[in-house]
Amino acid sequence: MSLPTPQPSSVAQTRKPPAHKPSASGAALGVLSRYLGPLWPKVLLLAVLLLGSVALSLYLPQLVARFLDTAQQRGSLNTLTRLALTYIGIAVAVQLLSAGATYIGADVGWAATNRLRLDLTRHLLALDMSFHKERTPGELIERVDGDVTALSNFFSQFTVRVFGAVLLLLGALVMFWREKWWLGLMVSVFAVFTLLAMNRVRRVGIEPTRTEREASAHMFGFVEERLTGIDDVRSLGAGPYTLARFLGVQRSFFWKAYRAWMARSAVLRLSMLLFTVGYVAVIASAVGLYLGGAVTIGTAFLFYQYMSLVEEPIDQLTQQLQDLQKAGASLIRVGELLNLQSHLTQGTQTLPAGALTLEFAGVSFGYGDGGHGAGNAGAGSDSVDGSSAGSDSAGSDSVGSERVLSEVSFTLKAGHTVGLLGRTGSGKTSLTRLVSRLYDPASGQVLLGGLPTSAVQLADLRRRVAVVTQDVQLFQASVRDNLTFFNPLVEDHRVRAALAEVGLEVWLDSLPDGLHSQLPVGSLSAGESQLLAFARVMLQDPGLIVLDEPSSRLDPATEARLTAAMQRLLSGRTAIVIAHRLDTVARADDILVLGAGRVLEHGPRATLARDRNSEYSRLIAAGQSVMDEVLA
As a whole number of angstroms, the longest Cα–Cα distance in the chain is: 121
pLDDT of residue 341: 66
Whole-angstrom distance, CA of residue 326 vs CA of residue 264: 9
Going along the chain from its start, the domains and CATH numbers come out as: 24-338 (1.20.1560.10), 358-370+393-474+524-631 (3.40.50.300)
Of 360, 356, 350, nearest to 542 by C-alpha is 356
Give whole-number Cα distances, 605 to 413, 423, 599, 601, 610, in Å.
14, 18, 15, 11, 9
Long-range contacts of 500-507 (CB under 8 A, 24+ apart): 501/535, 501/538, 501/565, 501/568, 501/569, 502/531, 502/532, 502/534, 502/535, 502/538, 502/565, 502/568, 502/569, 503/531, 503/561, 503/564, 503/565, 504/528, 504/531, 504/532, 504/535
pTM of the predicted structure, to 2 decimals: 0.61
pLDDT of residue 32: 64
Whole-angstrom distance, CA of residue 454 vs CA of residue 253: 43
Task: At 609, give phi and psi (nearest 5°).
Answer: -70, -35
Question: Could you tell me how many residues make up the chain?
Answer: 632
pLDDT of residue 401: 53
pLDDT of residue 550: 67
Whole-angstrom distance, CA of residue 261 vs CA of residue 263: 5
Give whole-number Cα distances, 78 to 87, 271, 454, in Å.
14, 42, 85
pLDDT along the chain (632 residues), means of 10: 40 40 54 74 82 81 81 82 89 89 81 83 77 74 76 66 76 80 83 78 73 81 79 79 87 88 77 79 79 77 76 74 68 76 77 90 79 38 36 38 84 90 84 87 90 88 86 83 87 88 84 84 74 85 84 64 78 85 80 89 88 82 56 48
CA quadruple 211, 216, 222, 223: dihedral, nearest 10: 170
